Amino acid sequence: MESSGLKAVIVGGSGATGRVLIRELLNSPKWSEINIITRRILDEWKGLPEEKQKKIKIIQNDNLDDLEDASKWDFAGKDSFFCCLGTRTKVGKELFIKVDKTYPLWFAKLASHFKVPHLSVLSSVGGDSSSWFLYMKTKGEVEDALKKMDDINHISIFKPGAIMNRENDKRFGESLLKIVPFVSRIESNDVGKCLRMEAELQHA
| Residue in 52, 109, 135, 137 annotated catalytic | 135
Q: Is 135 a catalytic residue?
A: yes
| Residue in 55, 78, 101, 139 annotated catalytic | 139
Q: Is 159 a catalytic residue?
A: no
- Would you list the DSSP string of the chain? -----EEEEEESTTSHHHHHHHHHHHH-TTEEEEEEEESS--GGGSS--HHHHTTEEEEE-S-GGGGG-GGG---TT--EEEE-----GGG-HHHHHIIIIIHHHHHHHHHHHTT-SEEEEE--TT--TT-SSHHHHHHHHHHHHHHT--SSSEEEEE--SEEE--TT---HHHHHHTT-TT--EEEHHHHHHHHHHHHHHHT-
Positions annotated as catalytic residues are: 135, 139
